[in-house]
Structures are given as C-alpha cells and as structure tokens.
C-alpha cells in the first residue's frame, strides 16, 4: 500500500480548517479539543499522518507534514500542535510487532501521547517491566487512547541496564490512558487547548511487546522511508509548520483589518498608508523566505533518505537550522504583526492576542531553542558536535 499523496493530505487538512477555526473559542475555554472536532479530525484521518501504511497510515514526508500542521495552525494552533505531537508519537508503530501495532493504532480514534524526557523507571520482570514514573507536557493526552512513558531500564537486582557504550538504556513504555493517574495542571498562557497534562503510573506491568526503543534502527519493523528519520527531526518539522501557520493566520487577519481600520489621529486608513504597505510587505517577505527555506531543507533531507544515504552531519545541521529559524522568525513576524494591529489586537474577541500567546508558547518549546544556532554554527565551522547537542 502506497502513501497518500501530498495533495491529498493537505486537501484533507483544508477540508476541516474552517471547522477548526469555528471551534477555536471553545478549544480555549475547555483547554482541550472538543469531541465534535475530534470526530471531524478522525474522519479526515489527520491523526494517522505518520502511521505505517499497514496500520492504515500515510507515512508522510516532512514537507507534507509541515504543510498539514501549517494549514491547521492558521485556524487554531492548539489543534495543529496536537496533530504534530500525535504524528511524532505514532512513529512508535513502526517499532512494534504487527499484532501490538494493530492493537494500539488500529482503532479509528487511536491516538498515542507521551510526555517529555526520560522520567520513568522500568524494572525487568518476566514478560516485561514494572514501571513507575511521572511525565509532564503530554500534548493531546486528554483525547489519547494510549500514553507512553520514556523510562530507564533496571535489572531485577536494581542495577541499571547499560549499553555497549556504557550509557543507561531507556525504552518507551506504552499503556492505555485508563491505567495512568492524570493531573489536570495545564493552566497556561498559550496553546491552552493542547491539554498537555502530567500523568503518572506506579508499579504498572507493561508487557515487552508494548515497549520500544524509538531511536534504535534494529527494532524498526516498518519499511517506510520516513521511519529512517528520528522523532526529533519529525517533531521539529511538525512544530515549525505550526509556527508558520500561526504567522500566516496573523498576517491574513492583519490584511483583513487593514481594509477598514483608521488609526486614531491618523489622516488616512491603513489601506492608504504607505508606511503600513512597506511594513506588511516586509513581513510577507520574511514569512515567505522562511517557509521556502524550511521546505527546501526538508526536501533535500527527504531526497537523501529516498536515495538510501545516511544523513550527513551537515544535512542534520541544515534541518536543525531550518526548523529552528522557522520557529524563531515566525514568532518575530507574529509579534510585529500584532503591534501593527494596534488596539484591536488586545481584545479577546479578536484572534490577534490568541495567536500571539500561542506563538510565544511554541517558541518556548525545545525545538525553538536559540542555542540550536550555536550547535549549527559549530558544525559549519568543522568542529566536532558535543554529545549533548540536539540534532
């Protein structure tokens, strides 16, 4: 079964974009995606973007993935963020045995969510592990059917399991949401609708078949080319698309506002203001240049993957630079467009302040760290990357 086309995936996102936009106020109010909207998203198969084809997934390339999250984020960033997070987590299916992959991801409404960092402890027992831990920032956890907990593995005697390099081994433990204790603690400024709660389990048995090492190619079962990418590269592409969607939405809203707004004390409307014309043109140029660089870098990386080549350090640095730049440049475009909107931007009934809050929240996530520029600069100078660098 072949992956669905670029055009089809983006078209499916476009088909529900207005429904997403109409739900934006309720998403903010309830701090999660409403059930009616989830039903539409599942109908459009937007939680199956990176599932293997044999589990009914699309196996999308990075360019298409970012186009889909951009399309949805222009309507509502929280929804797009959940789709991007869900896509990255769904790659877990590529590392599971067929029966386990079908059990977890086969149902129409299947969604896997997991929190950040290796925060759990998995003790080896017969047939699996006894897992305890607490994880935070699990975007989409309220509509997820399964949760994952990244955990260090310990032998039965309490000693950590070590790899050949002497480092502690970790695995991602997958379990149904009903087995976790959920903490309703997602009270935030931006991306309110992602419902990124914390959750925990205590001495929970997880069978071996429901665990993966998400970065070990030896465990990769699915043959789709996208599964040769790391989850970091996939999340970076998805969330860069989210930021571009927020910026696109903000510029569109600003353009609509300019058709009727006259600033207090001004002699002409924004529509007739040459200063505004120049400012809007500059923002559009920066947005389009950033988007073009992102898609070019993603396409180059994808061609290397399709050719069977191992991604070079230079290529990994390039995709890191493109995604980091998209997030930071997008945030700057949003902030400047917000200021150009004037006092209209401060009211909750208008979309400007929500987009600004969402953009600021996206920029705080690990994919947008400005320290990534230093990582890339080091590599471009021919220096060895540090082991802690986020590539």
Q: What is the pLDDT, as a whole number, of residue 303?
A: 96
How many CB atoms are closer than 10 A to CB 366? 15
Equal fold, 6-105 vs 114-214: no
What gap in Å lies between CA 76 and CA 74, rounded to an integer? 6
Q: What is the pLDDT, as a whole number, of residue 217?
A: 87
| Neighbour-count burial for 73-101, b at 16+ CB within 10 Å, e otherwise | bbbbbbbbbbbbbbbbbbbbbbbbeeebb
Q: Topology of domain 114-214, per CATH?
A: Butyryl-CoA Dehydrogenase, subunit A; domain 2 (2.40.110)
Residues with pLDDT less than 70, the chain: 1-7, 261-269, 387-389
Q: What is the pLDDT, as a whole number, of residue 10?
A: 96
Q: What is the pLDDT, as a whole number, of residue 273?
A: 79
Q: CATH number for the 6-105 domain, one of 3.90.660.10, 1.10.540.10, 1.10.3720.10, 1.10.1040.10?
A: 1.10.540.10
Torsions phi, psi for 369 (to 5 deg): -60, 130
219-253 confidence digits (pLDDT tens):
999 989 999 999 999 999 999 999 999 999 999 99
Give residue limits of the domains in the chain.
6-105, 114-214, 229-380
Q: What is the pLDDT, as a whole number, of residue 7?
A: 64
The structure's pTM equals: 0.93
Q: Topology of domain 229-380, per CATH?
A: Butyryl-CoA Dehydrogenase, subunit A; domain 3 (1.20.140)
């Amino acid at each position: 079964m072949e992956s669905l086309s670029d055009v089809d995936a983006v078209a499916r996102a476009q088909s529900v974009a207005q429904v997403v936009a109409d739900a934006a106020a309720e998403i903010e109010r309830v701090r999660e995606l409403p059930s009616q909207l989830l039903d539409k998203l599942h109908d459009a198969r937007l939680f199956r973007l990176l599932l293997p084809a044999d589990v009914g997934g699309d196996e999308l390339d990075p360019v298409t993935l970012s186009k889909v999250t951009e399309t949805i984020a222009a309507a509502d960033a929280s929804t797009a963020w959940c789709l991007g997070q869900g896509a990255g987590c769904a790659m877990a299916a590529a590392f599971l045995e067929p029966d386990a992959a079908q059990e977890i991801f086969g149902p129409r409404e299947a969604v896997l969510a997991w929190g950040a960092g290796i925060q759990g402890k998995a003790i080896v027992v017969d047939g699996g592990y006894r897992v305890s831990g607490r994880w935070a920032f699990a975007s989409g956890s309220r509509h997820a059917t399964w949760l994952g907990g990244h955990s260090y593995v310990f032998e039965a005697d309490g000693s950590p399991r070590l790899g050949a390099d002497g480092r502690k081994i970790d695995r991602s433990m997958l379990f149904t949401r009903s087995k976790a204790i959920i903490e309703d603690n997602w009270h935030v400024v931006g991306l309110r609708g992602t419902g990124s709660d914390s959750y925990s389990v205590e001495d929970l048995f997880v069978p071996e078949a429901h665990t993966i090492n998400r970065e070990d190619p030896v465990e990769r079962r699915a043959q789709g080319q996208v599964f040769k990418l790391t989850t970091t590269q996939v999340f970076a592409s998805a969330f860069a698309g989210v930021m571009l969607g927020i910026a696109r939405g903000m510029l569109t809203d600003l353009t609509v506002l300019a058709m009727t707004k006259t600033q207090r004390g001004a002699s002409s409307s924004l529509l007739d203001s040459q200063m505004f014309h120049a400012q809007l043109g500059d923002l559009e140029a920066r947005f389009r240049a950033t988007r073009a660089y992102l898609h070019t870098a993603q396409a180059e990386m994808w061609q290397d993957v399709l050719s069977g080549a191992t991604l070079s350090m230079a290529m990994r640095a390039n995709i890191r630079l493109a995604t980091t730049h998209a997030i930071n440049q997008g945030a700057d475009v949003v902030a400047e467009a917000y200021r150009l909107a004037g006092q209209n931007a401060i009211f909750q009934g208008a979309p400007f302040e929500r987009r600004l809050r969402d953009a600021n929240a996206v920029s705080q996530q690990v994919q947008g760290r400005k320290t990534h520029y230093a990582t890339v600069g080091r590599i471009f100078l021919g220096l060895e990357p540090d082991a802690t660098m986020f590539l």
